[in-house]
């Protein structure tokens, strides 16, 4: 099947990248060689504010190949923002995400698409045998075990960049922060519960070095906490803050009532007792939590403004 000038390709491949100029031509050639006879496809490179020649390479590829499209950010916004902008531009019935560092193998894509046509909403790659240093593999394994346990989604590799989706999945999720790790969770919350997993080949990095530092584990954990909180309480913040406020008010009220009785009937002084200060503190905290809950209820009545991504070029 030819891959020239297709208005609505069958497959869209979104490739977020940051300073990957050496690998882009090879990546495109490998994708084209693997998929050109199988699908009409487009490949959308999202340059996340690279400061090397990545954008020049993308422009060159786009000029020579109608399947290549590109988006360039003015600065580095992160992988989630890059994926989200790519999702907004896709035209295919199926969407694949993969990294630009040549560690993901395009030869895995046909089997993943077959799994989608077989009924899955999303297929996530599993780098069962990884070519990464221990400093990455052990934290990643612990992260995946914890995330699978917390979310209830039995995946082995939430971090794998090679994933395949039916188009409606990416149309119904929104990525920001470090949320790209939790696409299966976001999809599941939107009702796309048929989530599959496929063991994929993981190649050693050929050029450059990884762009992710040790801080990403902490960011990922905080984003998971945020996601779980948002999913449960975003439409009813008073249930969360009001519950804490109620407990605080009840305990603080009980303490101050007890101390009042002691003062009125037993003539005990209160201002020199730590329990008196503790009771007052609980009352104040209770009022504050109730106030936060009320403010939250007001805020959700209005649609929050989404973070603006400043795009420099689109081809």
Per-residue pLDDT tens over the stretch 93-129: 999 999 999 999 999 999 999 999 999 999 999 998 8
pLDDT over 90 percentage in the chain: 54
pLDDT (0 to 100) of residue 287: 92
Separation CA 51–CA 69 (nearest Å) = 19
**Cα 28 off chain centre by:** 25
Backbone dihedral region for residue 123 (phi beyond 0: left; psi -120 to 50: alpha; all else: beta): beta
Instruction: Answer yes or no: are the C-beta atoms of 1 and 32 closer than 8 Å.
Output: no
pTM for this predicted structure: 0.74
Q: What is the mean pLDDT of residues 169-180?
A: 89
Q: What is the pLDDT of residue 230?
A: 67
In whole angstroms, give the CA distance from residue 194 to residue 116: 9
Q: Averaged over 292-308, what is the pLDDT?
A: 65
Q: What are phi and psi of 127, to 5 degrees?
A: -80, 80
**Predicted local distance difference test score (pLDDT) of residue 231:** 65
Distance of alpha carbon 207 from the chain centroid = 25
pLDDT band at 2 (very low <50, low <70, confident <90, very high): very low
3-class SS string, the chain: CCCCCCCCCCEEEEEEECCCCCCHHHHHHHHHHHHCCCCCEEEEEEECCCCCCHHHHHHHHHHHCCCEEEEEECCCCCHHHHHHHHHHHCCCCEEEECCCCCCECHHHHHHHHHHHHCCCCEEEEECCCCCCCHHHHHHHHHHHHHHHHHHCCCCCCCCCCCEEEEHHHHHCCCCCCCHHHHHHHHHHHCCCCCEEEEECCECCCCCCCCCCCCHHHHHHHHHHHHHHHHHHHCCCHHHHHHHHHHHHHHHHHHHHHHHHHHHHHHCCCCCCCHHHHHHHHHHHHHHHHHHHHHHHHHHCCCCCCCCCCCEEEEC
Beta bridge partners of 41: 11
Candidates 37, 42, 91; CA nearest to 69 is: 42
* CA 220/CA 154 separation, integer angstroms: 18
Beta pairing partners, 15: 45
The pLDDT of residue 257 is above 80: yes
- Give me the phi and psi of 89, to 5 degrees please: -105, -5
What are the tokens at 234?
């975003």
CA distance 97 to 194: 18
Residue with tokens 């009980």, as numbered in its chain: 254
């Amino acid at each position: 099947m030819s891959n020239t000038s297709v208005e609505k390709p069958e497959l869209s491949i979104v490739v977020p990248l940051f300073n990957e100029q050496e690998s882009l031509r090879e990546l495109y050639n490998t994708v084209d060689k693997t998929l050109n006879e199988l699908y009409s496809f487009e490949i959308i490179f999202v340059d996340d504010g690279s400061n090397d020649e990545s954008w020049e390479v993308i422009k060159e590829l786009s000029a020579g190949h109608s399947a290549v499209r590109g988006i360039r950010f003015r600065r580095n916004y992160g992988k989630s923002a890059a994926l989200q902008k790519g999702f907004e531009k896709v035209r295919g019935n199926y969407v694949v995400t993969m990294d630009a560092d040549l560690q993901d193998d395009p030869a895995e894509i046909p089997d993943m698409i077959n799994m989608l046509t077989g009924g899955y909403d999303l297929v996530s790659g599993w780098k069962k045998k990884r070519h990464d240093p221990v400093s990455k593999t052990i934290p990643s394994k612990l992260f995946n075990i914890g995330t699978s346990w917390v979310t209830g989604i039995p995946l082995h590799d939430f971090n794998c960049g090679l994933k395949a989706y039916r188009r409606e999945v990416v149309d119904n999720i929104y990525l920001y922060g470090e949320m790209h790790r939790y696409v299966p969770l976001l999809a599941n919350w939107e009702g796309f519960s048929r989530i599959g997993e496929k063991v994929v080949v993981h190649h050693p990095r050929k050029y450059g070095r990884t762009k992710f530092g040790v801080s990403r584990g902490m960011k990922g954990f905080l984003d998971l906490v945020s996601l779980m909180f948002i999913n449960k309480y975003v439409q009813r913040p008073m249930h969360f803050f009001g519950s804490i406020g109620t407990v605080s008010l009840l305990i603080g009220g009980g303490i101050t009532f007890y101390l009042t009785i002691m003062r009125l009937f037993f003539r005990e002084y209160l201002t020199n007792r730590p329990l008196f200060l503790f009771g007052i503190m609980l009352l104040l905290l209770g009022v504050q939590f109730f106030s936060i809950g009320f403010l939250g209820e007001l805020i959700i009545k209005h649609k929050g403004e989404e973070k603006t991504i400043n795009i420099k070029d689109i081809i």
